[in-house]
Amino acid sequence: MTLFDSFKRLFGAKRNGDAEGLACEDALRLVHEFLDGELADVPHAQVEAHFEMCRRCYPHLHLERRFREAIQRACVKETASPELRSRVLQLVSEGRPDS
């Protein structure tokens, strides 16, 4: 953490105990929208700053990121078997009205 970050944490903490003007419950509620890049009401930078400043919320973001990465890795490895693939293709071609 840089000195600037330390100052930001100090001054941010004065605002009703929030980091970067965002309450922890709001940051945690927005974690999915934040990771999806779909924040509607709160600027992305504000939520990002909260997670960077807040020791309480950062582990939640970190865990959610790791969880999503694990899901993605699992999904990438998941492919249809050759048998299933040919069966699906056969059914699709049989289902065509012009064939």
Query: Per rule CB under 5 A, is residue 53 in the interface with Zn ion?
Result: no
Q: Is the separation of the CB atoms in 53 and 5 below 8 Å?
A: yes
Which one, 62 or 87, has the nearer CB to Zn ion? 62
Q: Is the separation of the CB atoms in 60 and 86 below 8 Å?
A: no
Query: Per rule CB under 5 A, is residue 56 in the interface with Zn ion?
Result: yes
Q: Is the separation of the CB atoms in 47 and 34 below 8 Å?
A: yes
Which one, 27 or 49, has the nearer CB to Zn ion? 27
- Bridge partners (DSSP) listed for residue 62: none
Query: Per rule CB under 5 A, is residue 24 in the interface with Zn ion?
Result: yes
Query: Per rule CB under 5 A, is residue 54 in the interface with Zn ion?
Result: yes
Residues that bind Zn ion (CB under 5 A): 24, 27, 54, 56-57
